[in-house]
Chains A and B, each alone.
Chain A
């Protein structure tokens, strides 16, 4: 039982390291964006301001998400019952199966939607069309690579 508890703590600490990195990257992105060193190459200044605002908003969401998860994990590390419950939530077999099915179907659906959007956008903007094609290629390649990897490594047992 002690061994499992240590494993749980290690996993939660690794998660905290990930969220901390994410929060730091977010801060770095805000500093870089506001420093003026990387000015967006927009001809329309309103579009540049809009893009700047969206980026800042996205970074703030990532920061809040990271900090909330770090706080949740730190609380769990102090309380064994909460730690066990958090670990069980993260490793629940039913939740993992649902995530796998939803992820698989969701990604296929997303590829089709982006494909349709790329077709429509191709009539208006070459850059946007190429960006969407790149997304489709990246999504499809990622799915294929993950499938190959897990076909070789997946044992069905808890890690």
Chain B
């Protein structure tokens, strides 16, 4: 699933490790989410969006799921 995490993270000069520590996951999971290889759970997606003060829809691109319908 495409997302804006890398862009948002770099705007705040945050490393993947630092973001991982903040949201309670590992650097490897953040990397996988950023490149679209892994789809975060609802809880993790919420924590990431909440950290950037955005809604989940503003961070993650749901157009693929919408197109499937």
| Chain A interface residues (CB < 8 Å from chain B) | 81, 84-85, 88-89, 91-95, 158
B38 partner residues in chain A, CB cutoff 8 A: 94
Check if B55 is an interface residue, CB within 8 A of chain A. Answer: no
Would you mind naming 25 contact pairs between A and B with Cβ atoms under 8 Å apart? A81-B21, A84-B21, A85-B21, A88-B20, A88-B24, A88-B25, A88-B26, A89-B26, A91-B24, A92-B25, A92-B26, A92-B28, A93-B25, A93-B40, A93-B41, A93-B44, A94-B25, A94-B26, A94-B28, A94-B29, A94-B32, A94-B38, A95-B26, A95-B28, A95-B29
| Residues of B25-42 whose CB lies within 8 A of A | 25-26, 28-29, 32, 38, 40-41
In the assembled complex, the CB of B36 is this many whole angstroms from the nearest CB of chain A, namely 13
A81 partner residues in chain B, CB cutoff 8 A: 21
Instruction: Name the residue on B nearest A95 (C-beta).
Output: B26
Chain A to chain B: the 9 pairs with minimum beta-carbon distance, closest first: A94-B29, A92-B26, A92-B25, A93-B41, A94-B38, A88-B24, A92-B29, A89-B26, A88-B26
